[in-house]
Structure 1
Amino acid sequence: MRKELLKDPRVVRIVAPLLVGIVLLGSWQLICVAFKVPAYLVPTPLNIVQTLVANFGSLFGALLVTLKITLLAFLCAVLLGVMIAFLLVQSRIIEASLFPYAILLQVTPVVAIAPLIIIWVKSPTPALVVCATLVALFPIISNTVLGLRSVNPGLLNLFKLNRATRWQTLVRLRIPSALPYFFGGLRISCGLALIGAVVAEFVAGTGGTGAGLAYQILQAGFQLNIPLMFAALLLIAATGVGLFSCMAWLTRLSLRHWHESELA
């Protein structure tokens, strides 16, 4: 029975990372205790958890602010990315004319343009959402365009042979073919939306009731409260893992009955 469980891919995907995490955290704790590393340099995992519990109210409120910006930016990136991708695949000329600007948007550091966006957009929350959206947008565009272009030539010729309209070809052939690529873009984009939100918060330096986790990290750094800084980083990392897991679950739910990537 135990051997059968170990051979189950679903069990392995859960148990193997947990075992690695336990070993790493245990080693971290032992090294810090053995070498008497001070908490203001590297806190122990136990110290981080204690700080997280002690400051859970303020950290959880900051997490909700960051998560709201992340989800709004992710939603905007998905909507804009899909619309732009559909526009690009209508013509090779349109794609050749506009896709380089999508690449330019991707390679431009958000830290460089975030101050301008914050100045142009007066309200803090919309400005942060715009910054995070710019970071998360390109994977949706790139993956969706690739998926819409990656159509089986034989099936495409079959649709043409049966005089299918452009709309019928798009809905019944190109979109189903693009779904695996699209969901791959979602898994990348959700993490980038979180990164963009945190970076934008760092640049904006918003405080008060609208402060996110980045502000908590800045305040902890100014106060040399390193355990609090690690606790905020832990929440950011856990949020990123949670978002990725949600997108992976959505991918499996949508593709498990027909696409080979999720059949195993």
Structure 2
Amino acid sequence: MKTPLIQNPKVMKIVAPALVGLFLLVTWQVLCMAFKVPIYLVPKPTDVATTLWTDGPSLLGALAVTLKITFLAFGMAVVLGVIAAFLFVQSRVIETSLFPYAILLQVTPVVAIAPLIIIWVKDPTIALVFCATLVALFPIISNTVLGLRSVNPGLLNLFRLNGATRWQTLVRLRIPSALPYFFGGLRISSGLALIGAVVAEFVAGTGGTGAGLAYQIMQAGFQINIPRLFAALVLISLTGILLFSLMAWLARISLAHWHESEMA
């Protein structure tokens, strides 16, 4: 007997959020029309859609610049975070000595240190990547460390009884056990890399043809072009959702055949 579409979990994961989003857009449109809200305060969804269509090429070009910084920062955060996590789990002394500094990077606002980084690093792109990396780094470190330490004690004792070396225990037990936590860190870090890139662009204030979406938002604000500002925000939000979905997809194809967290 076939399962009705409305009871299909895979279908509902798409349909339910789409219906909620459609309801919110219709409500937004109706309220703006009913109360005659000026476009320079809150534009209607149709105004934003029109702006996305007319200004699409310039906004997508700016998005490409922001994505370049995002992906470079995300890649650096993954590499540095994994290396730091492996270093931390080698010794409790190392973790106790260095982990507070990783927390320090997380709690320090990027807007406070970005001006210094931009002054110290002459290349604007490298400076922006460095700022975004600092924002995206901590979830990779913390989740990977947690995963590497969250090993089943029984399995760990079994490895020791069979004379497994430290390397064999790491590769065959600790790393597989850490993968669900690692992918959870990727989901968080990917969005933070995008946020870090946009914030760094705001602080840098870079303009011209090579500017990212942050410059488009600032320019729209100065010109009181609110539909264009909303259009840029929509692109940033959709990009963040796509990045999260991509990380979720990677987790699914990597873990679905053996870990319960991704089994249907």
| TM-score higher than 0.5 | yes
Match of 1:118 in 2: 118
Question: Aligned AA for 2:107?
Answer: V
Q: In 1, Cα distance between the equivalents of 2:156 and 2:207? A: 55
TM-score normalized by the length of structure 2: 0.99
1:48-96 per-residue CA deviation (whole Å, 9 max, x = no partner) reads 0101111111101000000000000000000000000000000000000
Match of 1:51 in 2: 51
Question: Aligned AA for 1:247?
Answer: M
Match of 1:82 in 2: 82
> Stretches of 4+ moved more than 4 A in 1?
none
Q: In 2, Cα distance between the equivalents of 1:142 and 1:21? A: 33
Q: In structure 1, the residue corresponding to 2:135 is in which secondary structure?
A: helix
Q: In 1, Cα distance between the equivalents of 2:77 and 2:100? A: 18
| Root-mean-square deviation over aligned CA pairs | 0.9
Match of 1:234 in 2: 234
| Alignment pair present for 1:179 and 2:164 | no
Q: Residues 157-168 of structure 1 correspond to what in structure 2 (within 5 A)?
A: 157-168=157-168
Match of 1:137 in 2: 137
TM-score normalized by the length of structure 1: 0.99
Q: In structure 2, the residue corresponding to 1:251 is in which secondary structure?
A: helix
Question: Aligned AA for 1:157?
Answer: N
Q: In structure 1, the residue corresponding to 2:4 is in which secondary structure?
A: helix
- Identical-residue share of aligned pairs (%): 77
Q: In structure 2, the residue corresponding to 1:215 is in which secondary structure?
A: helix
Match of 2:105 in 1: 105
Unpaired runs of at least 5, structure 1: none
1:80-124 per-residue CA deviation (whole Å, 9 max, x = no partner) reads 000000000000000000000000110000000000000011010
Q: In 1, Cα distance between the equivalents of 2:145 and 2:29? A: 46
Match of 2:13 in 1: 13
Question: Aligned AA for 1:99?
Answer: F
Match of 1:191 in 2: 191
Match of 2:92 in 1: 92
Unpaired runs of at least 5, structure 2: none
Question: Aligned AA for 1:70?
Answer: T
Q: In 2, Cα distance between the equivalents of 1:253 and 1:238? A: 22
Match of 2:69 in 1: 69
